[in-house]
Structure formats: C-alpha cells, structure tokens
Structure 1
C-alpha cells in the first residue's frame, strides 16, 4: 500500500511558481512595465558607487518614516483596513483578485491622506469631494481606458517616455519663459491621450469580453468603496491630531496643571468635533492670561459670543463702515477667504486671508485680503500685493486691479474710477474720495531688494 504524501510547512517550487504566476496575472502589462523600471532603478541606486548620496538620503527618509508615532498611526490604519476588507469580503464585495487594487489604494490614497491632514482640515468639502470625485465622468473614463493596455514591450518603452514628458512639463510650468515648451509638451501628452482613447474604443468593439468580465466590475467599484469606508478613520485621525496639537499648545498657554486639565475637559465637552471652534479657542487662550478658573471660563464665553455674532451680524450704518462678518466674505468668490475676525490688540480686531500666490518663478508674487476695525464695525478693507520680482509688475498690477474692482463693487456697489485704474496700472500712489469712503493706493518700494521688489496696498476706509 503506497504511503500518503508527507505534508511540509514549506512552499514547494511548483507552488511558488504557481503563486508567482497568479500575482503576475493580477498585474496588467502597464503595471508590469512600471514594476520592471522601478526594479531596474532600485538595483542601479543600491549597487552603483555614484548613488551613495541618494542611498544616504533614502536611509534618512526611512529613518524619519519609521519613528514610533508614524508607525503607530500606519499600523492602526492597516488594522482598520484589514477589518474593512474582511467585512467587505464577507459581504462578497472583495476577493483576492482585488489585492493589487487594494495595495495601490493604500499607497496612493490611504497613506497619503494621513500626511495631508492639515490640508484636509482646511478643506471644508473634503469628505463630499472624496466620494463625488470617484463618480465623475473623468474618473470613469480613466478606468475604462486603463482596462486595455498595449503589449509589454510597448508599455516598457512608453513608461520612461511619459515619465520624462511629465517631469519636463512640471518644470516648464514653474516659469512663464518656458510657455512654448509647456504648450508643446501638453500637446504631446494630449495626443497620446487621444491615441489611448481611440485604441480603447477599438478594443471595446473587437474584444468586449475582456471588459465584460466580473473582475472588471470589482475593479471599478472596490477603490471608491474602500475610500468611502476609509473616511470615518480619516475623520477620527483628524479629530485626534487636532486635539493633540491644541493640548500641546496648552502646556505653554496655561501654567496651572489643574486649570490645564479643566481646559481639556471643558474643550472636549463644549467643542467635541467642532474643530474650527477648538482651534480658535486655543489661539484665544494663548493671548489670554489664565490665572484663575473664571479666566478660563471667559475664554469659552468669548468664543461662543463671537460665534453668535457671526451667525447674527449686526446692521452697521453705511457711514460707519461695514459689518466685519459680511466684509470678510467680500472676496470669497475671487479665492480670498479670510480666517476668523478676532481681537488683535486692545480695541483692534482683524481678519486676514492666507497669502495667495498667482505667478511663476522660485519666489512667486502673492496677494492677501485684510479686514480691520472694532468688534462690531469693519473700518478698513485692505488688499496687499507683494511683487517679488519687478519684471512681473504688469501681471501683478492686473491682478490687483481685478481684485480691487471686485472689492469696490462688493463694498461700495461701485466700480473703480478711471483715475484709480490708471494709478494701479502705472504703480503710482493715489487717493480719492468716493461718497463717504476713501480709496487709497500705496506703493512701497523695498530698498536693496535683489529683484527690485515692492508692495502695492489698496485700502477702502471709512476713517
């Protein structure tokens, strides 16, 4: 009687080959081509003596990545996604063939999102856009085009060419002097995109069976489904990181340990997941002198008082100025959104937008919008343009004129006068009265500046 085969804990060569073939079958030709190029580049970097500095830099990056705090978050994210995948698999919405898509999704969406929490925090519509972007026509088109690939040798040749074109386009976009090169590169990439679409249409007609597989349906809905399931984790990390930053700032703002613990407890109860109020309160605490429990309570009262004022702005007589909570929204449609209107000094209040860059170059020009006044009345509306290179003066003046026109219409219901437009175009200081307001253009040249830079300030005031 023959002996039964002995089972071993080790994978046999045949089993290893079978597993490798299964993994290769999961990848399409384009992904195999990218993997081959990455492998070749990695071998060169880690074997060439000329790449010693690159290897040292890579070690530094890996050392920074594998710190306890980052690894804890990444492990938590992996554990969460394992639970999600198990749940989806149990529902029949995930299978082993989606391993590739899941790994790509984790690297391109999951990991990257954790390093963009500060940017996500500023984007009020992030969670809505995360879902809607996966349903847009462009996303569907990109998916359909990605179903069919060229033969492997064609993909191997295309990968470095397209990577080079993309890198050159990124460099050309940094300087207006390379505009013609930029146009040519965009034409090349657009032409390739058109060829890819035509090729896909032909393959859909002649080989629809490849597209009509069950796997294709999984490939389409699994990444958006992973994104949808991942959003609660992103929100949790957003709340956790914000509270952590605020509590660290409290160490320097509140000396008393008792008051610090009380502040944390009250903040969690009163603000919970309203992160904008939490951060606004933390900055108020930094400006206050917390010496007693009543001082601490006053900081919370202040936040809810200004919050109520924002929700219910008072009417301000025209001759006095503007409602600050309306004035801070004057240029929202132009891309200049201010932060909160807060007390800056004893009786002075201020709201300001971030510096918005609008030109090319290593040090781009930028523009910002300010609202200044008292607690209930905005008395000065200010636009400031920093021109970091005098060779871009014309572009900067055009930007200021467009923003000033929008501000004048929003605040005065009047367009800019010809005299003010002429002053802006010529970069000449100028002032004029418009009804009960004053519009002033101030030009401030920066002495000894390498590129002869200067600042342009346009003020509309009721003072």
Structure 2
C-alpha cells in the first residue's frame, strides 16, 4: 500500500487550498489568529505536551510487546492529530454521560469500524477522490444547515434519499476491490494499520479521564478562590478536597456546588462538608431502600424517565435544606421556541419528596399535541413512581388545562396550571406533581 492513498492526498490538497483562501481574507485571518491563540493558551499547551508524552509512552510499550513498529508512524500521527485530539476536547462528556466509556469501547470495536476501514483502504482513483472531497463536504454542510429549519425539510429528505444509493456505491466499489485484491488486504501491515488506532484509542481513555479530573479541580479551585475571602480557608479547602475526593471528580463538583450555595467559613466546616458528601455518596452506592410513604431514592427517582429521553444531572444542594435536579428539555414540535417538557426532582439529601413533570406551552396553536405528550409521559412517571395508572380525572384536567388534585398511595397527585401574565395570549405551563408529605 502507498504511503498515502488518494483520499488522504485529496484531503491534504483541499486543506491547503482552503487554508490559502482563508489567509487571503483579512476577516478570516483575524478569526484564525483568535482561534490559534485560544487553542494554544498556556494551560492547553501543558495538556498537549502531556498528551504527546503519554502517547510516546504508549508507543514505547506497544513496541516492546511487538504491537507497534516504525511502519505504523503514519497511522499513529494521523490518529494523534485527529481521533486523539477530538477525544481530548470532548473530555467533558465523561462528566455528562455515565456510559461514556462503554460507548467509546463499543465505537472502536464494532462491525462498522471494520467497514469504514475497508472503505478507506480501497479509495477511488485520484480524480474521483479530488471531486468527491469538496462535494461531500458541501453536501454534509447543506444537510446539517437544512436540519435547523423546518421549511427546509424537502432538502433534508432529498439528501436522506441520496445518501443511500451513494453509500451503496461506495460499499460496492470497496467490496469489489476487496474481492479482487484480497491478497493486498490480508497482510500483517494492513492488520496493524487497522488495530493500531483501536488499541491507541482504548489506551488513551485513562489519559482523557485524568484530563477530566484535572479540569474539574481547576474549575472548583477557581470557584473556591472567588467564593472565599479567607486565603487560609481557601488553601485548606483545596488540599482537603484533593485528599477527600481523589479522582472522584463528579463528587467533587457536587461538593463544590453545595459550598458555593453555603460558603465555608472555618476549617471545621470544610472537614464536615467533605465528610457529609462522602457519606452521601456511600449511602447512594449502597442503594438503601426508601419506604414509599416517605418518598423515593433520589438517584433512582431522577432516572424514572430516562428511557423517555429525560436525562437528569446530579442531585445537588440548592439552599435552605433543599436538594434538586432537573432534566434536559424534551421538545415537542419544530418551532424555534417549541413547546417543551421538563422533569424535576426535589427533596432532602437522602429522600426525594416531589416529582414534577412540567409542560411549557410556548406555541398555543400546538397545545393539543403537547398535552397528549404530557399525558403519555405522565403515565410512565405515575407507573414508575407509584405502580399506578394516571387517573382519568387528571387526564381530563390536563386536556382542559385546569387544576385538579387526587390522592393515591398516600401521595397527592396534582395537575397545576399557571398562566404567564407577561407572555403572549394562550401561553402557560401545566404540571403533574407527585408530592410526599
């Protein structure tokens, strides 16, 4: 196999053309300067250097066990400045997605990865690749832009239909070459070209985790500096946080949020707050059952609607003894400001007392569909929380957009409508609230 295939050569040429064009425009040059300046901030440069040292260490270890040799230099360089950098800049996803590592492993070791490698291995003739590179970029750009606006749905549908035959054409061409020139594929060099990026990607994940930890501590330490006027307490809180939370950066951030709401004024308060947070984490880990008459286990309650698309963050202290978490919003419709559903859980550190599913009606002309969605998700919530069905009286109250309350399993279940005095006519919000005394 040649050092660079036709696709890689075409990409490089078009990159040079795009760069030359960009440098010829003053406004773009200024934006590039700002981007480069931001990308090479001294804090980031330290991380880049650590990343390169870590990758060099991986290469050394792999070469020692016979899984890397000099022929993999090109593959390793391309992986470093593409996949590794992208993964590094996405380190915040570790904090947001509890299944980050599972997905990362799955994405690297699956059938699609094999297909992509075969398609890349058997590139088209140079002239075809030279035309396809900008054409593909243009199509993807138009497609993604068109998805932002409902009136462009016909364009999106056209490109959806176009992508299927084009994908089949590429797969057919690669499959034909694979059948004719299979001998070129099944050689040791090709196998290592395929496995090297996968192995490096998997071994790179611990470094990304450490970057996420470092980033969290840096952010928390900055907040401590801002929130504390006592330098001695500030310094003490940082050291106690390091020894108290170690690599558990999500717990660190929950503690940081609590201390931002209620600032620490003494060493005793620092020690007590860290110990309380560690005890809470241990309580959640043991999955202690909560009697239904008291409420729900917060760590479970916040995920009652996860399968419906509601992904809640961490259950955090919000002041005056109350703990709270909200989900992302689930949009209903394609308007710029669509009707949307949110899910909220609140209570004390160990027991969730209130579960609320709230519909915000921004588009009154589409409220019927939105209320039907509220009922659909409300059925799931009532079933998960109480093992009951959504009462018909509550369903009628939702459809008529009025208040209603019933009692079930020792809980008050309410439909609560609130008009927006400063909103447009017809705008309001309506909630299903499950409350524990």
Residue 32 of structure 1 corresponds to which residue in structure 2? 9
* Aligned match of 2:248: 274
After superposition, the Cα gap between the structure-2 partners of 1:62 and 1:375, relative to the gap in structure 1 and judged at 3 Å, is closer
Q: Where in structure 2 are there 5+ consecutive unaligned residues?
A: none
Structure 2 CA distance for partners of 1:383 and 1:257, relative to 1, 3 Å: same
- Contact 2:401–2:430 under 8 Å retained in 1: no
The answer to whether residue 41 in structure 2 is matched with residue 64 in structure 1 is: no
1:190-205 aligned within 5 A: 190-205=164-179
Offset of 1:295 from its aligned partner? 1.8
Say if 2:401 is the partner of 1:428: yes
Indicate conservation of the 8 Å contact 1:440/1:459, yes or no: yes
Select the residue among 287, 291, 294 that pairs with 1:316.
Answer: 291
> Given the superposition, is the C-alpha separation of residues 141 and 290 from structure 1 closer, same or farther in structure 2, using an over 3 Å criterion?
same
**Deviates further, 382-391 or 187-196:** 382-391
Partners of 2:12 and 2:366 lie apart in 1 by: 43
Aligned to 1:368: 342
Matched with 1:176 is: 150
- Contact 1:172/1:179 (8 A) holds in 2: yes
Query: Structure 1 residue 227: deviation in Å?
Result: 0.8
2:320 is matched with 346
2:380 — aligned with what? 406
| Structure 1 pair 26–386 and aligned structure 2 pair: CA distance change class (3 A) | farther
Name the Cα RMSD after superposition. Answer: 2.8
Is the 1:26–1:97 contact (alpha carbons within 8 Å) kept by the matching residues of 2?
A: no
Question: Which range is displaced more, 323-332 or 298-307?
Answer: 323-332
Secondary structure (helix, strand or coil) at the match of 1:26 reads coil
The question of whether the paired residues in 2 share the 8 Å contact of 1:389 and 1:451 is answered with: no
Give deviations 1:329-354, integer Å, cap 9, x for gaps.
32233232434444433343323224
Query: Quick check: 1:445–1:454 contact (8 Å CA) kept in 2?
Result: yes
Looking at structure 1, the residues matched to 13 and 264 of structure 2 have their Cα atoms a distance apart, in angstroms, of 61
Q: CA deviation at 1:438?
A: 3.4
Structure showing greater Rg: 1
TM-score (norm. length: structure 2): 0.89
- Map 1:107-186 onto structure 2 (within 5 A): 107-186=81-160
Q: Which secondary structure state, in structure 1, belongs to the residue aligned with residue 413 of structure 2?
A: strand
Per-residue deviation, 1:367: 3.0
Aligned to 2:432: 458
- Residue by residue over 1:261-294, the C-alpha shift from the partner in whole angstroms, topping out at 9 and shown as x without a partner, is 3222222222111122211112222233433222
User: Paired residue for 1:216, among 190, 193, 199?
Assistant: 190
- What is residue 208 of structure 2 aligned with on the other side? 234
Q: 1:44 aligns with which of 21, 30, 39?
A: 21
Q: Is the 8 A contact 1:289 1:295 kept in 2?
A: no
CA contact (8 A) 2:302 2:325 kept: yes
Q: Is the Cα–Cα contact under 8 Å of residues 257 and 316 in structure 2 kept in the other structure?
A: no
User: Residue 245 of structure 1: CA displacement?
Assistant: 1.4
- CA distance 1:153–1:126, change in 2 (3 Å): same
Once the two structures are TM-superposed, the CA of residue 445 in structure 1 deviates from its matched residue by 4.4
Q: 2:267 aligns with which of 270, 278, 293?
A: 293
Output the CA distance in 2 between the equivalents of 1:65 and 1:149: 32
Q: Is the 8 A contact 1:351 1:370 kept in 2?
A: yes
Does the CA contact (< 8 Å) of 1:365 and 1:389 recur in 2? yes
Gaps of 5+ in 1: 1-21
Query: CA separation in 2, counterparts of 1:73 and 1:376?
Result: 38
1:255 Cα deviation from its structure 2 partner = 3.1
Matches within 5 A, 1:12-23: none
How many positions carry a matched residue from both structures?
A: 435
**Does structure 2 conserve the Cα–Cα contact (< 8 Å) formed by 1:427 and 1:443?**
no
Residue 104 of structure 1 pairs with residue 78 of structure 2:
yes
Q: Give the Å deviation of 1:196.
A: 1.3
Give the alignment of 1:4-19 within 5 angstroms: none
Of stretches 309-318 and 273-282 in structure 1, the one that deviates more from structure 2 is 309-318
Mean alpha-carbon deviation: is it higher for 274-283 or for 249-258? 249-258
Note closer, same or farther for the CA distance 1:89–1:452 as it changes in structure 2 (3 Å cut). Answer: farther
Give the Cα–Cα distance (whole angstroms) in 2 for the partners of residues 396 and 323 of structure 1: 29
Distance 1:292 1:361, change over 3 A: same
Cα separation, 1, equivalents of 2:63 and 2:296? 58
What per-residue deviation string (whole Å, max 9, x for no partner) do you get for residues 49-70 of structure 1?
xx33222211221122222112
Cα 1:326–1:33 change in 2 (3 A) is closer
Q: Which moves more between the two structures, 79-88 or 309-318?
A: 309-318
Mapped pair 1:207 → 2:184: no
Looking at structure 2, the residues matched to 212 and 245 of structure 1 have their Cα atoms a distance apart, in angstroms, of 49
Aligned position for 1:15: none
Are the structure 2 counterparts of residues 101 and 451 from structure 1 closer, same or farther at C-alpha, using a change threshold of 3 Å?
farther
Distance 1:171 1:444, change over 3 A: farther
